[in-house]
Amino acid sequence: MLTKEEINNLIHKAQTVRKYAFAFKSGHGFGACVLTVDGNYYEGVNVEGVISSMGVCAEMAAVDHAATHGKYAHKALCVADKNITYPCGACLQYLTQFSQVNDMDFEIVATDMDGKYEIKKLSELLPKKYRSVTFDDKLKSFNL
């Protein structure tokens, strides 16, 4: 369970980076922040591509930012939007891959820019997720 301080930090960081979203086509920016189990925060923003399939969601960017620093086990993720919006299905599946690192059903905080928020477990948002059996041991090896 997240502490009030962790929730506030996640929200502040996701809201703060949202302005850096590279959303030149839609003008709809998202900010995200992942909290790792060791207490570190890593932000990300959505990046749109001229070719649609070449963009990346803010949630994936935040997780990738953590991975760049050798952090693979997550406690929570926050996404900031104009309204309370949860991660898309592709992001939820991507997050599931990282949840296998430490078998943690981590929390997703969805916040608007006024600071209103909701919290759901990853399993609530993607109850029929695909969990790799083939790579389970390899994924767990990243639980540093």
Distance, in Å, from the CA atom of 110 to the CA atom of 144, rounded to the nearest integer, reads 27
Distance, in Å, from the CA atom of 44 to the CA atom of 87, rounded to the nearest integer, reads 13
More confident residue, 103 or 69: 69
This prediction's pTM: 0.91
More confident residue, 144 or 25: 25
Query: Would you say residue 127 has pLDDT above 90?
Result: no
- Given this model, what pLDDT does residue 130 score? 64
Distance, in Å, from the CA atom of 27 to the CA atom of 124, rounded to the nearest integer, reads 29
- Given this model, what pLDDT does residue 39 score? 97
- Given this model, what pLDDT does residue 129 score? 74
Calculate what percentage of the chain has a pLDDT beyond 70: 94
Q: What is the mean pLDDT of residues 65-88?
A: 97
Tell me the fold of 4-140. Cytidine Deaminase; domain 2 (3.40.140)
Q: What is the mean pLDDT of residues 99-117?
A: 95
120-124: Cβ within 8 A, 24+ apart: 120/86, 122/92, 122/95, 122/96
Calculate what percentage of the chain has a pLDDT beyond 90: 80
Query: Would you say residue 50 has pLDDT above 70?
Result: yes
- Given this model, what pLDDT does residue 141 score? 76
* Residue spans of beta strands (DSSP E) within 40-131: 41-45, 74-80, 107-111, 117-121
Distance, in Å, from the CA atom of 66 to the CA atom of 36, rounded to the nearest integer, reads 8
